[in-house]
Chains A and B, each alone.
Chain A
Amino acid sequence: MQNTINQLTIIPGLDKTGQSEYPMEITFQAGETISIVGPTGSGKTALITDIEMLAQGDTATKRWILINNEVPGEEIRYNPALKPIAMITQNTKCFADLSVAEFLQIHARARGIEKQQVIGETIALANNFTGEKIHQDSKVTILSGGQTRSLLIADAILIGAAPIILLDEIENAGIFKQEVIEIIQDTGKIIVFVTHDPVIALRTQKRIIMERGAVKKLIYQSEAELYAARTLMQIDRQVGVIREELRAGKMITRDLAMLNLA
């Protein structure tokens, strides 16, 4: 069932003052990347939360979310094993008094996954996204913000294994965002980024602009923007290299500052 999701549609709702928002349905197709941008408090998180909850006019925004142009059934909305959506929120804290392995095991059970290798694979993938390695016996409550984020992203990819992935400001938690983007794009999934990061925003095919709790505009990526994205990615990688050097306590040389990573 999870493989048959071709599109997701947002039926418009209301802004913070109760006025109608951007009056057109927005449809995401399988394989598409989308970013949601706008100032803080403009309703970005509320929009992806609507998608995650498969809102049916029963959230504050009154939006409706359709899957394959139909109202999703109760089972899909309420049974985590069937839920076609995995979301990474801005939370960088886990409250569950469990080890990393126990947490992933219970989540795999909730998602109806039998094979045990998925636990080790998820931890290994998470360790690609963070400089500080995660151990399976650590309690999830003591992981750092970056470790928690990395673990939850790997969990969303391998255990959530959903055809729709929502990522809320992944750039914020000290993780290797380029690695995350490389791994999740081209998987045929619908990937939605809430972001303030120009590189992420320019790399997506569609951009939703938010204002006062409402969808304001929908923009399609242009050739010029793709070019800009490539230029920014080089700068971003350079910043990344210098950041890791600084974190490791090294001095920054002139050569490193001029490094061309194109």
Chain B
Amino acid sequence: MKLVVIAGPPSAGKTALVKQIVRHFQAKLKIAFLKIDVVKAFEDLELRKEFNILTKKVYSGDLCPDHAGVMVLGDALEWAENNQAELFILESAGLCLRCSPYLNQGLGIIVLSSISGIHAPEKMGAMVSLADIAVVTKIDLVSQAEREVLIQKIHEVHPEIVLMETNALQGTSLQRLYDLIAKSPEITPENLVLKGNPPLGTCTICVGKKEIGWKHHFGVVKKLEGQIADYLYRGE
């Protein structure tokens, strides 16, 4: 089974890109799709209706969506393999930008809109710097010069990234992406690990305490001013 992990901020065009990938591969490979979101997602229903492929979604709810992804991915891969899927597409929620959902195998794709702002590539941290491929969408809305400026910014964050530009609604110029997916090796699920480092520990906020002020909290916490290290694991 091949694995494609798609990340990017909300409304960047992730689902439009997924649809183009599915449209291209549906006759060649059996496809399974998993969407991870926090509150609401419709991508699974849309894709099942339009292409009749295997789909699932999971709401992370109180959990961070990348954390939820790590937890459910094992089961999801098993589900896909049991259904003889040959291409597994994971679409992440793409929210807090602290982490990235990419794994040590398969392809990690960051989807970025041309109009998302010139500093977006730097702000998005690991989601850009650990991706294999960047797909810049909505290119029909900006000038060529501005697209080249954005591409330059992405290259400055990640010099080796494979970059492509598309109007994802029409699926223009994606042949190179399809070739990379077709050539990507089969994964071995027992050896899958996250590419990036997850955040440190857990704090009292994460476990649900609502009280304000230092005396109520411990764990990895940070003051408005000063060093984080002073407060590491204070509670222990």
Partner-B contacts on A (CB < 8 A)? 49, 52-53, 55-60, 74, 78, 80, 86-89, 91, 93-98, 103, 106-107, 109-111, 152, 155-156, 159-160
Contact = CB atoms under 8 A, between A and B. Distances in A.
Contacts of B144: 52, 86-89, 156, 160
B175 A107 contact: no
B150 interface: yes
A107 B148 contact: yes
Given A91-B143, A109-B152, 5 more contacts: A53-B172, A58-B174, A95-B118, A95-B146, A106-B149
B112 to A, nearest CB: 13
A174 to B, nearest CB: 17
B117 A94 contact: no
Interface string B173-189: 11110000000000000
B149 A58 contact: no
Interface in B145-163: 145-146, 148-153, 155, 163
Contacts of A156: 144-145
Contacts of B150: 96
B146 A78 contact: no
A9 B148 CA distance: 24
A89 B143 contact: yes
A110 B142 contact: no
30 contacts: A49-B172, A52-B144, A55-B172, A56-B175, A57-B175, A58-B172, A58-B173, A58-B175, A59-B172, A78-B164, A78-B176, A80-B152, A86-B144, A89-B142, A89-B144, A91-B146, A93-B142, A94-B142, A94-B143, A94-B146, A95-B114, A96-B118, A96-B150, A103-B145, A107-B145, A107-B149, A107-B152, A109-B152, A110-B155, A152-B143
B141 interface: yes
A107 B153 CA distance: 10
Contact of B117 (A59, A97, A107, A111): A97
Contacts, number: 85
A95 B149 CA distance: 11
Interface of B: 114-115, 117-119, 140-146, 148-153, 155, 163-165, 170-176
A160 B145 contact: yes
A74 B162 CA distance: 11
A70 to B, nearest CB: 17
A52 B151 CA distance: 16
A49 B151 CA distance: 18
Contact of A78 (B119, B142, B163): B163
Nearest to A45: B140
Given A95-B115, A97-B119, A98-B118, A152 B145 contact: yes
Given A91-B141, A95-B142, A98-B118, A60 B170 contact: yes
Q: In the A-B complex, list the 5 residue pairs whose CB atoms are closest, starting with the nearest.
A: A110-B152, A96-B118, A58-B175, A80-B148, A110-B148
A98 to B, nearest CB: 6
A86 B148 CA distance: 11
A114 B119 CA distance: 23
Contacts of A87: 143-144
A235 B104 CA distance: 66
A87 B165 CA distance: 15
B143 to A, nearest CB: 5
Contacts of A98: 118, 149
Nearest to A110: B152
Contacts of B172: 49, 53, 55, 58-60
Contacts of A55: 172-173
Given A78-B163, A160-B144, A53 B173 contact: yes
A93 B142 CA distance: 7
B152 A59 contact: no
A88 B152 contact: no
A94 B140 CA distance: 13
